[in-house]
Structure 1
Amino acid sequence: MQPLDWNTRMKIAAGIANGLNYLHHKAKPPVIYRDLKSSNILLDDGFLPKLSDFGLAKFGPHEDKSHVSTRVMGTYGYCAPEYAATGHLTLKSDVYSFGMVLLEIISGLTALDETRVRGKHKLLDWVRPMLIDPKNFLQLADKKLNGQFPKSVFCKTVELVLICVRDNAPSRPTMTEVVGAMDYLTSKKYDPCAA
């Protein structure tokens, strides 16, 4: 099978963002997916993503509550740090997980890899040195893309990853804001003839 091209990868990411946005802002009551990871995303023949396995999903906070307290569940490597530390689950926990999935999509790396050096098994820990300076962002690109992607859009996508995986949960965007960003990014399609 051929590796997925840039435009297809971005279409998949945008579809995931739309699915989470629906759960967070259109479902009544809101739903926190809680276990967003690559293996829970199904693709149809046209690469349209579908979220699957809602076994860990929780209804979101309501009334004046800011979070749902629950036993920590989910997959290591995708789980938001504040949720892992406190068990306080918010809609922003899913935003963090989305950032990790988006990072996987653009880098071709997995969120957790036990073969990486100790202390760097988690993808975010592994790539953190490259995330410090925007000049290094292109080093994150999946080698299977063979440079066939719009460089400026790739860098903007890395910036979106960075704001989604912020340690401070309240400073992460909402999924509605993420959808807006993904709409912009997917509108900038890669055209090999124009490159």
Structure 2
Amino acid sequence: MNVACYLSDPPKGFEMYKSMIVGLNTCRLAHSLRENPVIREDWIKHFWDNATAKKGDVVIKSKVQGKEVSVSEQDIREVLLFGDEASDPVEYSREKVMEVLEKMSYEGACPPPMTKKLLHPYWRFLAHIYLVCISGNKNVLDKLTLKQTSGVVSLVEGWKYNYSKSVFDDMLANVKTINEKYRYKFPRFI
């Protein structure tokens, strides 16, 4: 997890987002968005300094202050309470995603990538929250991959989606391409 959100009433002039905030406070991502444990940057640094995962691994292994730590998709599911199942999809077809994006007044061509600024501001807010708080996006915060867009439209439509696998896959990618700039992207829950 990247950051926690303070999902309270919007400030004056932004009342149109109240229903989105209510939705975020009641959706299956609510716990992961709002949970704000004490963040020990030194633990996170130790985790990434020592993190290893071989091709095909289903566990990231590391050492934090001399203690063995492992993180799996199931660990993420249990800690972040996404309410997903291992069998839930992590990506939907472009056609299915585009049908929903059209309902959301998306003005661009078929993703990927989906350009956030081409969404109506209401939905752009949701895409932004997803990119900043859930995804392991290491690039600009205006583009969403098909996998990330699938996560957003799954929230909108109430579709099954394996958020735990999505977060774990992003963590695996982080192990392979660790860079000081992205060191604190994950995991907030160590």
TM band (smaller chain): under 0.3
Q: TM-score normalized by structure 1?
A: 0.26
- By relative contact order (CA 8 Å, sep 6+), the higher-ranking structure is 2
Structure-2-length-normalised TM-score: 0.26
